[in-house]
Structure 1
């Protein structure tokens, strides 16, 4: 079993080249970036001597558990995509973390992030889920990320609804491609509560083939500049907004006329019934 530990770091070429005349302890203490991607690592051992780590690259390994990172108070970026992780855990002490990459693992529930009040990006695309299962979200985690999170990637996770994500009101980029989203009205309701949203990609979902799908989302997302990889023309958006307002005004007028007619003639004669 390959473990990420101080000995492995010491044996790495980067260490031997950069250490120079300083001691190993001094080198480890100064280390801010650690790159052990694609090294067949299965476990994170004690690396607490690297007290000043800010970026860790551990993608494309065989790691099953996020652990032994509680010492990394300065950690801001953690790349652990394409491993064998099943749970998001043991990150409560890494409170400066702002970017977390966990795509391509086997995570079933988005949880355990309640203490990460500075997390800005969360990447969870392509989880290896059991057949028929979908990626789920712990409401406590979503609520804790409601102020900080601006980028969310949940593509290719068999997701069929996103109503729980409505609390993420500061999202600017949202990617949920190749899922099972079908309800355009739900998408309208949720996206209308994301006033900062500028880029969204929902391509590969059944909803994309529904009538007026693009028009409806462009209308409710006032700051959206790109939908499904296609730029949004501001003149087109304004035309759609005006068209929707005109349609709603016309419907309101018709409803008022109908109500007035019913009040004026509560018991319509045959002629009035034919008119109605």
Structure 2
């Protein structure tokens, strides 16, 4: 239901269309307006809070590589944002948790542009991209969430949390790697990558049939390195090693993305993929 309005005359039609879409999808046709950012990044803060009034933040993630508002790559920590700014934002998220009596795992999501953070929403649950935070902090977020639900205290404080190294996650979807057309079907062969710093979260196995009715995510490939260059090298090696036969997946797309100069430099915005010719992974001539 999201619409971008560049001129006042287009506002009425955009609002009506958004209302119709939202009403059909969610049974709630309410809309709200906010400032449109031209080239933002998507930055998240992971939090944990127990019922005893303790809350912590577990570093930040960059989830800017997206297609149609769906995240494809996540990494921690964000490249090119001063750690001090991230720490200020994390502390503000903790204060918000304490003020509203929040309990459990959660994620504060922001857009970041020209040195400013703009709040989007809070997701009051575990998220797909949580492994990059686990890999850089050493904290099992799923275990912590279960402990909190059982009424147990966090067992650690903010002073115990440190970000070490760099982690990258690629969402492997059952989709054509060029046009992102869904590719359900029978998995004939599956070989996950391995080695130091490599993690694969998946339900796949040879003989599994990917259904067409659900989300196309079939695996999460996560790597951790001493620094970002190390993590990039491990991700490239892991993508080369991974084998999935019988269905098309986005793994070849991720492998090409890892070689683009802009991604390797770091700090791309949420509209980065829209600016690329995905066949050549070079800037489109008609890109805005």
Q: TM-score, normalised to structure 2's length?
A: 0.24
Flag the structure with larger Rg: 1
More relative contact order in 1 or in 2 (CA 8 Å, sep 6+)? Answer: 2
Q: TM-score, normalised to structure 1's length?
A: 0.25
Give the structure with the larger strand fraction: 2
